[in-house]
Chain A
Amino acid sequence: MTFEDAIFYFFAAVLLGSAAMVVTIRNPVKSALFLVLAFVSAACLWMLLKAEFLAIVLVLVYVGAVMVLFLFVVMMIDVNLAVLRQGFADYLPVGGLVAVLMVAEIALAVGPKQFAAGRLAHAATHVAHPHYSNTRALGMLLYTTYVYPFEIAAVILLVAIIAAIALTMRRRPDTKYQDPARQVEVRAQDRMRIVKMRTEPKA
């Protein structure tokens, strides 16, 4: 076992362990934190595959932004675990079936055939020369060959953002809020009047 293998097995073990904890642990905040750990271990595995751009973006987007917002929500809700555990036995057969199906699909998609030695060797030749920049190659592909799918995906996300805001926003006429533009426009003479009057002699 080489040094790299040892690192791989370490991060793989952490990833699987934390992924198992995400679904089994009772406390939702801890569960979210284990998901963070799972993301970070996955990023480390990608780094081992020399996919440094994907690894860093996984940490930046999912760990740095998405999971923070997730934690934000999870921390504020009060989950009643007893209610959540109800009917565990009833749902077990259906849930189990779905789980088995998903494992089978993943095995088909990323089975040993896809990672045969020939394919990996082909990928490895690209990485061989020292100034190869993963980021640059990915950017070139995204903005030339795949520019339309990329832009369409971006527009779909934008639509989703606008829809989410439109669905949840409600104007409440009774809420008082400040308009900074009007605050800045205010001049002293609008608010204040200086009255000149004679001093009155002390009685």
Chain B
Amino acid sequence: MGELTALWGTLPVWSQLLLWDLIKIVAIVVPLMLSVAYLTFAERKVIGYMQVRIGPNRVGPRGWLQPIADGVKLLLKEIIVPSGANKALFVAAPVLALLPALVAWAVVPFTNTLVLANVNAGLLFVLAATSMGVYGVVIAGWASNSKYAFLGSLRSAAQIVAYEIAMGFALVGVLMAAGTLNLRQIALDQAGGFWHWLFLPLFPLFLVYFIAGVAETNRAPFDVAEGESEIVAGFHVEYSGMTFALFFLAEYANMILLSALTAILFLGGWLPPFDFAPFTWVPPLGWFLLKVSVILFLYLWLRATFPRYRYDQIMRLGWKVLIPVTLVWIGVMGFVIFFTPWAFLFYR
């Protein structure tokens, strides 16, 4: 141990910083990947019970090793590159899909002190990072040299661009109420019990953000980019083995990311719903994980409940319903904050 600290002391400062950051990144990514694996398991179990089935229960005790078995199976499968595909882009696409989903975690605060980078413009950073996720899907569709994949990627690009606008406007409301772009500050701003959480004054924006989040992650009922019934599997129809698994990981990592953001922006992050005894005993990380889990359960519940939207209905909902709702609510907030004595409703 003493030798190790001596070795650490001999390293130049910049490499010390680099190593320390790398350790922190691993400490975030490893639990995240584990949660992704067990989210797939949870999804199959939850939907199974909703459809009066049992779900996977063969591998390991009560099926608990199922995600490991899935991972090993995908690792061992051959990666098939279709003839006529653009090989470099075909392989790069899944990486480009997963990367933004991981990058955004750099600024997500788990508790008051547990955050990799406490950035001032954190909210913008998250928006920018998640907006890059569409490239993986678009490039996958084009590089596959397949009609189904191409159609899927075009659908996905249009859908993600449309819902990103609604999402951005919903975040403008959060910004107006919290007065900062720093994610940690936004959560701290909601301290003092659940009636201070932003989902109450911003309820329409909260709904829009949640719906746009489901659409952004290409989840049911907005999963026309995959649309098994019309375009087989959409953008990843030509992918197999690990390349397919990366798309899968990206989708679930994005789900967890958006749930975490919803928890931080609208549901008080790691703060307890009541600021007194039995509730404050639970550690902050516990509250955070609980809120994220509840929102993730909503995602799974939606998938088990609703049929898939038709493509024109998706576009109509995005452009003609969600965006006007956010615009009106931002106008209402601005008016109330600046011209009426009820500004305390939105702005503390």
Interface, chain A (partner B; CB < 8 A): 3, 29-30, 33, 36, 52-53, 56-57, 59-60, 63-65, 68-69, 71-72, 75-76, 133-135, 180
- A52 B121 Cβ-Cβ under 8 A: yes
Give the CA-CA distance A71 to B160 in the complex, in Å: 14
- B142 A133 Cβ-Cβ under 8 A: no
B157 interfacial by beta-carbon distance below 8 Å: yes
Instruction: List the A residue with the shortest CB-CB distance to B119.
Output: A52
Cross-chain contact of A56 among B121, B134, B135, B157 (Cβ < 8 A): B121
Instruction: Give the secondary structure class of B's interface.
Output: helix
- A68 B135 Cβ-Cβ under 8 A: yes
Give the CA-CA distance A135 to B124 in the complex, in Å: 10
Tally of A-B Cβ pairs under 8 angstroms = 66
Q: Tell me whether A3 and B14 are in contact in the complex, defined as CB-CB below 8 angstroms, given that A59-B132, A135-B181 are known contacts.
A: yes
Instruction: List the A residue with the shortest CB-CB distance to B179.
Output: A136
- B132 A71 Cβ-Cβ under 8 A: no
Q: Which residues of B contact A3 (CB under 8 A)?
A: 14
Q: Which residues of A contact B124 (CB under 8 A)?
A: 53, 56-57, 60, 135
B34 interfacial by beta-carbon distance below 8 Å: no
Q: Tell me whether A64 and B164 are in contact in the complex, defined as CB-CB below 8 angstroms, given that A71-B157, A75-B142, A133-B120 are known contacts.
A: yes
Interface residues of B in 96-144 (CB under 8 A from A): 119-121, 124-125, 127-128, 131-132, 134-135, 138-139, 142
Q: List 25 A-B contacts (CB under 8 A).
A: A29-B142, A52-B121, A53-B124, A56-B127, A57-B128, A60-B127, A63-B128, A63-B131, A64-B132, A64-B134, A65-B131, A68-B134, A68-B135, A68-B157, A68-B161, A69-B161, A71-B157, A72-B138, A72-B154, A75-B138, A134-B121, A135-B121, A135-B124, A135-B181, A180-B316
Q: How large is the interface on B (under 10, 10 to 19, 20 to 34, 35 or more residues)?
A: 20 to 34
Instruction: Give the secondary structure class of A's interface.
Output: helix
Query: Chain B 276-298, CB within 8 Å of chain A: the 1/0 string?
Result: 00000000000000000000000
B51 → A minimal CB distance (Å): 29
Q: What 8 A-B pairs come out closest when comparing CB atoms?
A: A64-B131, A60-B128, A59-B128, A3-B14, A56-B124, A56-B128, A133-B120, A75-B142
Interface, chain B (partner A; CB < 8 A): 14, 89, 119-121, 124-125, 127-128, 131-132, 134-135, 138-139, 142, 150, 154, 157-158, 160-161, 164, 181, 316
Give the CA-CA distance A3 to B11 in the complex, in Å: 14
New A-B contacts (11) at CB < 8 Å, excluding given A59-B131, A64-B131: A53-B124, A60-B124, A64-B127, A64-B128, A64-B132, A64-B134, A68-B161, A71-B157, A133-B121, A134-B121, A135-B120
Q: Which residues of A contact B150 (CB under 8 A)?
A: 75
Give the CA-CA distance A59 to B14 in the complex, in Å: 27
Q: Tell me whether A63 and B132 are in contact in the complex, defined as CB-CB below 8 angstroms, given that A52-B119, A72-B138 are known contacts.
A: yes
Q: Which residues of A contact B89 (CB under 8 A)?
A: 30, 33
Instruction: List the B residue with the shortest CB-CB distance to A74.
Output: B142
Q: Tell me whether A56 and B138 are in contact in the complex, defined as CB-CB below 8 angstroms, given that A72-B158, A75-B150, A133-B120 are known contacts.
A: no
Give the CA-CA distance A57 to B125 in the complex, in Å: 9
Give the CA-CA distance A23 to B56 in the complex, in Å: 53
- B125 A56 Cβ-Cβ under 8 A: yes
Give the CA-CA distance A198 to B128 in the complex, in Å: 69
Give the CA-CA distance A76 to B157 in the complex, in Å: 13
Give the CA-CA distance A75 to B89 in the complex, in Å: 13
Q: Which residues of A contact B135 (CB under 8 A)?
A: 36, 68
Q: Which residues of B contact A57 (CB under 8 A)?
A: 124, 128
- B138 A68 Cβ-Cβ under 8 A: yes
Q: Which residues of A contact B142 (CB under 8 A)?
A: 29, 71, 75
- A65 B121 Cβ-Cβ under 8 A: no
Give the CA-CA distance A59 to B134 in the complex, in Å: 13
B137 → A minimal CB distance (Å): 10
Q: Which residues of B contact A56 (CB under 8 A)?
A: 121, 124-125, 127-128
